[in-house]
Amino acid sequence: MRIKKKNVLKESYIINEAILLDQLSHIKPNVKKVLKLIKKKFLPKELNSFHWWSLSRYDIQEFLENEMSIPEIESYKIASFFIKYGEKLFSESESYVYDLPLKKVFGEMFTKYIRKFIKEKHNYPDLLFKTKINGKEYVWDEYEIWDSYKGFSIYLGYDFAIETSIVINFFFDTEKGDENTILIGESTLRYDGVDGVERIPFIANNTEIDLPKEETYESFVEWMQELITNSQTIFNNSKYRLKIK
């Protein structure tokens, strides 16, 4: 029985997957096989009139995931690498770095990871939020995590005694910071005040924090758990004067 060439390449990738993942810093044979297949599928034989800018990273990534069964993060890296280096990709030089910075992968995967985390409530740290508001202590024994643009929120719920809900917001600046850090661009505590929605600072703007140790979802979960726990500590050790009803 004749086996199509793309299936041979697919099987080759699967057999050598561990090797591929171990060699992310250079273009090694297994990666080159995948890159050559991308070239064959997405580029015409005659490149004289071909415009490299017309390539779509999303199309290439979808092809790698669906037809080659390559994991999403690796598909994103390979597709991005192919787009970036274009015609130089198939030179004999191995000076081109295949891997992407952790910060770039974090920015790409954050939305997907946070939405998955929100649904998996068993991963939430078992915490009690309590603080003094206008001299009186209030306690929240449950909380929710909400998705937001380039960040997330910790929703503590509505307290009928003070007629307000408490929400701790985080907005991340993934463009700044060092190689393995990002900034909390803004973090506020939001509540319903006498004049409408009020916001006060929770964590100082542009606070630098470490990225997850690895690019995996499991590492992201640990990162979120630590951030939520630290937020609870800050909240519990604070006293607030709020303009509530």
**Would you kindly state where each structural domain of the chain is located, as residue ranges?**
5-99, 107-240
- Whether 26 shows a pLDDT value over 60: the answer reads no
Under the banding of pLDDT at 50, 70 and 90, the label for residue 6 is: very low
Average pLDDT over residues 50-79: 87
Average pLDDT over residues 68-82: 88
State the SS3 of 15-65: HCHHHHHHCCCCCCHHHHHHHHHHHHHHCCCCCCCCCHHHCCHHHHHHHHH
What is the per-residue pLDDT across 36-45, written as a single tens digit (0 to 9) for each?
Answer: 888 888 887 7
Cβ-Cβ contacts under 8 Å for 175 (sequence gap 6 or more): none
Q: Which of residues 166 and 9 earns the better pLDDT score?
A: 166
Task: State residue 89's pLDDT score.
Answer: 66
Cβ-Cβ contacts under 8 Å for 77 (sequence gap 6 or more): 24, 98, 99, 100, 105
- Whether 19 shows a pLDDT value over 50: the answer reads no
Task: State residue 194's pLDDT score.
Answer: 86
- Whether 2 shows a pLDDT value over 50: the answer reads no
Task: State residue 131's pLDDT score.
Answer: 96
Average pLDDT over residues 68-90: 82
Contact 42, 60 (CB under 8 A): yes
User: Quick one: angle between helices 102-119 and 72-85, nearest 10?
Assistant: 150
**Cα–chain-centroid distance for residue 44?**
34
Q: Which of residues 223 and 107 earns the better pLDDT score?
A: 223
What percent of the chain is modeled with pLDDT above 70? 82
**Beta bridge mates, 96:** none
- The size of the chain, in residues, is 245
Locate 139 and state its tokens: 């306690």
Write down the mean pLDDT value for the chain.
83
What is the per-residue pLDDT across 93-148, written as a single tens digit (0 to 9) for each?
Answer: 445 555 677 888 888 889 989 999 999 999 999 999 999 999 999 999 999 999 99
Secondary structure of the chain: what % helix, strand, coil (to 5)? 40, 25, 35
Average pLDDT over residues 43-63: 81
Least confident of 42-51, 64-73, 165-174, 220-229: 42-51
Task: State residue 27's pLDDT score.
Answer: 60
- Give me the residue label for tokens 């080659």: 68
Q: 163: left (phi > 0), else alpha (psi -120 to 50), else beta?
A: left
Task: State residue 244's pLDDT score.
Answer: 85
Rounded to the nearest 10°, the torsion over CA 7, 9, 14, 20 is -160
Q: Which of residues 81 and 241 earns the better pLDDT score?
A: 241
- Whole-number Cα distances in Å, 27 to 5, 24, 33, 35, 69: 21, 7, 10, 9, 19
Q: CB under 8 Å, gap of 24 or more: what pairs does 92-96 form?
A: 94/26, 94/27, 96/27
